[in-house]
């Protein structure tokens, strides 16, 4: 049995019951070391296989092979395994290579939902997720999506907004949005949502400081109705209040 | 204290620990009757205030007033309260009317994540949420977003896809996507995700049957790389497998 588990953004409080049950049931835990560390308290006495970054295919194949020996294996992703996580790769490997293994997907809370609840209620209207990592997606495709989303006044959640190797992607994304979104549009940033080092702040499209944003950050850009009040970022749903 | 809680799509298994803790802590539960029914097992001995549909402002004001009397109140939404739920309206009322009440937002798993995990892994690449309800949003704005999202090859999740009063919205949305998405694009439908009456199926943009889709349904339309295999809907992340 191979459980593919989204453990939520960080704290155990944001994990679902079924994710907890699946981790408890598993004999072996496989995951990127930051994630295995997040569930450390739940994995005492279990075999834990920590892997480095950028080893996704190896990590998935190792988990599948272990499960094929009859062990109950939990492959963990932070957030939801089905959103920029490991669920897709596992199913691609299983279907394309016709591998014989029972897979159970356990969804988790993705970073945007957790970040939104910490900022206020910025996702109350239509929104989209865009990853700014061009490791697996051509930058032109990403640009096209940013422009389309800004033009149609979506609230936009940026995943993987900024790393050392991609220090200017977020700034380029903001330049692309500026013809369509006002400089006063609220922008919320949450770093390490629901983890010990959690930080958050609200700024605007025009005043954005890119420097403090890193790969543990989630950036939410409002739509034309989004406002900030009392330190809260709110996108009205459209009720007359 | 006013907890604004997303209880997840339906079953207790998809609820987070902190949502469970907040419901346990609350003395009064307020919510649309379908949702109070979903958490029935957790609210034995508590005061439960069930409200009808389309009474959102009254429901929120009642919850705020109750919390102002010193009671611990839980206002519940299905999925996540911050995504087409009650969190935004509560914060709008509190900030605009300058009401004195302590609000704690407890995020939950939104329907798209749960539906995706039941279909396979359709949300592995950039995606957006679009609600097809025009009760609070002009249809022209919705149309513009559908076209923009289809043009930029987003995976699209349709919320509130079809009701008796809006029987043709989903079909109109599909017509708008057809110039940009191939007829063979996989489409996944999940009805009543993680509830007793759960149903799901995978079809294509060209073969879509709109009739069985209702307000408890979530419709996910793939991007140009999404495929169906072994009954699973998969959007590749871009790894070479």
**B194-220 pLDDT per residue, tens:** 888 999 999 999 999 999 999 999 999
- pLDDT, mean over chain B: 95
Q: How far is CA A127 from CA A122, A154, A220, A221, in A?
A: 9, 5, 10, 9
pLDDT confidence tier of residue B13, bands split at 50, 70 and 90: very high
Topology (CATH level 3) of domain A112-234:
3.30.950
Mean pLDDT of B168-177: 98
Tell me, what's the pLDDT at B46?
96
Q: Which of B12, B91, B121 sits opposite A82 (nearest CB)?
A: B121
Task: Enumerate the residues of chain A whose CB falls inside 8 A of the CB of residue B91.
Answer: 120-121, 232, 234
- Mean pLDDT, chain A, rounded, equals 95
Structure tokens given for A202? 């609200």
- The proportion of chain A whose per-residue pLDDT surpasses 70, expressed as a percent, equals 99
pLDDT at A207: 98
Contact: B56, A80; criterion CB under 8 Å: no
Between chain A and chain B, the number of residue pairs with CB atoms below 8 A apart is 228
- Touching check for B124 and chain A: CB below 8 Å? yes
Å between B214 CA and nearest CA of chain A? 19
pLDDT of residue B52: 77
Residues of chain A contacting B102 with CB distance shorter than 8 Å: none
Does B151 lie at the interface with A, CB-CB under 8 angstroms? yes
Tell me which residues of chain A, numbers 181 to 210, contact chain B at a CB-CB cutoff of 8 Å: none
Average pLDDT of the segment spanning A121-130 = 98
pLDDT grade for B29, boundaries at 50, 70 and 90: very high
Burial of A58 (0-12, 13-18, 19+ CB in 10 A): exposed
Contact B149 A128 (CB under 8 A): yes
pLDDT at res. A45 = 93
Contact B190, B119 (CB under 8 A): yes
- CATH 3.30.950.10 residue ranges of chain B are 112-234
Q: Does this complex have an ipTM over 0.90? A: yes
CB nearest to B130's CB, from A97, A121, A126: A126
Q: Nearest CA of chain A to the CA of B211: how many Å?
A: 24
pLDDT of residue A222: 98
Say if residue A10's pLDDT is above 90: no
Residue B168: per-residue pLDDT: 95
B11 pLDDT band, cuts 50/70/90, is: confident
CA distances from A31 to A28, A92, A102, B238 (A): 10, 18, 18, 20
Percent composition of chain B: helix, strand, coil (DSSP 3-state, to 5) = 30, 25, 40
User: Are B126 and A131 inside 8 Å of each other by CB?
Assistant: yes
Taking only residues 19 to 48 of chain A, the set having a beta carbon closer than 8 angstroms to any beta carbon of chain B reads 20-21
Report percent pLDDT > 90 for chain A: 88
- Give the mean pLDDT of B77-83: 96
Using one digit for the tens of pLDDT, what is the confidence trace for A48-89?
Answer: 998 876 678 888 999 999 999 999 999 999 999 999 999 999
- With a pLDDT cut of 90, the percent of chain B lying above it is 88
| The pLDDT value given to residue A129 | 98
Distance from C-alpha of B152 to C-alpha of B155, rounded to nearest angstrom: 9
Tokens standing for B233? 């809907």
In chain A, DSSP finds a helix count (H) and a strand count (E) of: 7, 13
In Å, how far is B86's CA from the nearest CA of chain A?
Answer: 9
Interface-testing mutation among A18, A79, A113, A225, with chain B (most B C-beta atoms within 10 A)? A113
Interface of B with A in 85-114 (CB under 8 A): 85, 87-93, 95-97, 105-110, 113-114
Q: Does A15 have pLDDT greater than 80?
A: yes
Q: Under an 8 A CB cutoff, do B141 and A129 touch?
A: no
For an interface test with A, the pick among B3, B4, B58, B107 (most A C-beta atoms closer than 10 Å) comes out as B107
> Which residue blocks in B49-162 are alpha helix, DSSP H?
56-68, 87-96, 111-119, 139-151
Task: Name the band, by pLDDT with cuts 50, 70 and 90, for residue B241.
Answer: confident
Of B16, B128, B230, Cβ closest to residue A95: B230
Tell whether the torsion through CA atoms of A206, A212, A213 and A218 is positive or negative: negative
Does A10 touch chain B if contact means CB atoms closer than 8 Å?
Answer: no
**B222 pLDDT tier (thresholds 50, 70, 90):** very high
pLDDT at B141 over 90: yes
Identify the band that residue B51 occupies on the pLDDT scale cut at 50, 70 and 90. confident
What class does CATH assign to A2-109? alpha beta
Q: Looking at chain A, which residues constitute the CATH 3.40.1010.10 domain(s)?
A: 2-109
């Amino acid at each position: 049995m191979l459980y593919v588990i989204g453990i939520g953004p960080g704290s155990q409080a944001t994990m679902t019951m079924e994710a907890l049950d699946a981790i408890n049931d598993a004999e072996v835990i496989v995951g990127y070391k930051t994630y295995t560390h997040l569930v450390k308290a739940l994995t005492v006495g279990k075999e834990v296989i920590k892997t480095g970054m950028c080893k996704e295919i190896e990590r998935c194949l190792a988990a599948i092979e272990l499960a094929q020996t009859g062990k109950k294996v939990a492959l963990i992703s932070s957030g939801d395994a089905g959103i920029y996580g490991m669920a897709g790769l596992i199913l691609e490997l299983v279907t394309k290579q016709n591998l014989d293994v029972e897979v159970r997907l356990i969804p988790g809370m993705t970073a945007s939902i957790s970040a939104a609840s910490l900022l206020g209620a910025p996702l109350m209207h239509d929104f989209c997720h865009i990853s700014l990592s061009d490791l697996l997606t051509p930058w032109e495709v990403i640009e096209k999506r940013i422009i389309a989303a800004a033009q149609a006044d979506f609230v936009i959640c940026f995943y993987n907004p900024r790393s050392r190797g991609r220090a200017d992607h977020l700034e380029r994304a903001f330049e692309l949005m500026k013809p369509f979104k006002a400089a006063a549009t609220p922008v919320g940033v949450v770093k390490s949502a629901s983890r010990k080092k959690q930080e958050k702040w609200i700024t605007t499209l025009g005043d954005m400081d890119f420097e403090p944003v890193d790969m543990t950050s989630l950036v939410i850009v409002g739509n034309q109705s989004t406002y900030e009040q009392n330190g809260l970022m709110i996108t009205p749903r459209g009720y007359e209040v």
